[in-house]
Structures are given as C-alpha cells and as structure tokens.
Amino acid sequence: MSRAVIFSGQGAQAVGMGKDLVDAFPACKKLYDIADETLGYSISDICFEGPVEELTKSNNAQPAIFVTSIACFTALKESCPDISFAGTAGLSLGEWSALHAAGVLSFEDTLRILEARGRFMQDACNECDSTMLSIIGLSMPDLEKICEDAGVTIANLNSPAQTVLAGERANIEKATALAQDAGAKRAIPLNVAGAFHSPLMESAAVKLAETLAAVEFKQPTMPIVANVTGLPHDAATIRETMLKQVTGSVRWQTSIEWFKANGVTEYIECGPGKVLTGLIKRIDSSATLHNINNVATLEKTVAGIA
C-alpha cells in the first residue's frame, strides 16, 4: 500500500500536546530539549503546561506544532523502522514540517524559520483588522463572485465542500452575508488573528525572505506536495515557493488529488488534532486514514499498518 505522511497546521495546538510521547520516547524528549535550546526559551513548557493564550500566539504555536508533529513522526519511525512513504505534505505551517521530514531543512533551521514566520505573520495581522471565513456548500463560481463583490480572496481550498476566504474584517462580514444569500450550508467566521494566505500577509513574506536567504535548502528525499500549486515542489525553487505560500491560496484538495492520481491510498497525519484526515475523507473516501497525536493513537496506527 502506497502511503503519504502529512503534517498538521496552525489551530491544531492544544495544551499538553507531546507530553506522553516525551515520557515514552527519549528521542522525542531530545527534540523538545533541542527546541528549548535553539529558541532560547522553553517551548516545551508552553506545549505541556500552557497557558493556552501563550500557546496560541503565532510565534509560539508555529514552532510548538512543528516540534510536536516531528515528535509524532519520530515515534512512528522508531516503532516502525522499515516504514516508507511515497510523499509528504502539510497544511500551511505543516508544509515546513514536511520539508524537514523530507530532509530539506534541519530541525533547528525549521524551528527558527517558524518562530520568525509566526512573529512576522502576527505583525502583519496587527497592521490591519482582518480575519477569515469558512464557507461550506457553495460552488467555485459562487465563491469567486463573492470574493469579487466583497473584496476578499480565497485562502484555502480544503475540500470539495469547504473553502476559506480571507480579508479585512468589514469585507469578511459582507462576504458572510453574501454567502448566506447564495445558499451556503454554513458560513463560519474563524477565530484567527488575521487574514492568513492572502495579500494582507505581504509584509510578512518580505520579512521572511530575509530569514530564508540565510538558510540551506537541501534536495528532498521524497516528493513534497506544495500548498500553492497542489503539485510536488521543484527542488530548485522550494525557497521561492515557500515565500509565495505566505500570501497564496492553500490548495489542499488539489494536493490530495495529486497523491491519489499517483497511487497513494493511505495517509498518516502526524501532529496535534486530526483535521487533515477529516478533510481527506471528504476528498478521497476510499483512502485509509491514520493520525498520530499521542501514544494511544501511535499504538493504534502501528497496529493498523502492520
């Protein structure tokens, strides 16, 4: 069975994440120790003890979810030493976890990138009162008309049923009313700091470019499907593509469709929550799905793939 490993995005964080993996696997404890040393503060304490307000800050949430996701991946590889993958992907910040898993970036460099990325994105949020809106049950022509009329953009193409819009708060409020008038099953304002994956994040992309210029990007050991194209990264342009990801739409549905077209039938989600396996179920109902976010789900996954 051909399988892919996928990595959680921001919003999946929860206080206590990773703690039982640290207690069970010395290699996982080492990851958190390295993270604390690299960042110069205790991201492990924030993961394990909170408070939730501190964990939710973008400059903490992004490295915290990354460390926890890689701890899940490390525990899986220790439990199944012969496991192999046909490719990898991640949602938004999870794509950085995928880059590390595929050998493109070191653990320490990814941590530093994500702390900076989270900080720059929060700065961009503070520059403009903006937010995001999840819409369920509208066609693409309807969504494109709403974007045009309300002055917002498509941030995430998550599944055939769910699309996320982003923009200034007043425009998102207008888009909410337009979506309801168009017959959307649901139009749900998201509790986020701002309009991620939209042109309103341009200042974050400019700052991140300076950070990435100092980092070495290596050749990937397996295909990494890019958020902005839904196709595998070209190894020569990963740095540039990841900058586009800050302001570009996340094409998650297209990414999973690429995996399916290339024979992937099984997915293992590593990281807090299980949002991605839920989305995949709506894109490819025939797929076999697993998620690892603690020791119990690790054991269940290992038993399911043995």
Asked whether 104 and 224 are in contact (CB, 8 A), the reply is yes
191 pLDDT higher than 90: no
Share of the chain above pLDDT 90, in %: 95
164 vs 57, more confident: 164
Smallest CA-to-CA distance from 98 within 211, 241, 263, 306 is with 241
Q: Which residues pair with 87 in a beta bridge?
A: 4
Q: Hey, which residues are catalytic here?
A: 92, 197
**Average model confidence (pLDDT) for the chain?**
96
pLDDT band at 193 (very low <50, low <70, confident <90, very high): confident
Q: Which residues contact 139 (CB under 8 A, 6 or more apart)?
A: none
Q: What's the gap between Cα 68 and its chain centre? A: 13
pLDDT above 70 (res 1): no
- How many CB atoms sit inside 10 A of residue 151's CB? 13
pLDDT tens per residue across span 87-123: 999 999 999 999 999 999 999 999 999 999 999 999 9
pLDDT at 306 over 80: no
Sequence letter at residue 46:
I
Q: What pTM, to 2 d.p., does this model score? A: 0.96
Strand duo 266-270 + 87-90: pairing = unpaired
Q: For residue 161, which amino acid is it?
A: A
What span, in angstroms and rounded, lies between the C-alpha atoms of 35 and 67? 7
| pLDDT higher than threshold 70 for residue 44 | yes
Assess whether pLDDT exceeds 90 at residue 18: yes
Confidence of residue 136 (pLDDT cuts 50, 70, 90): very high
Q: Which domains occur in the chain, in start order?
A: 3-126+198-305 (3.40.366.10), 129-189 (3.30.70.250)
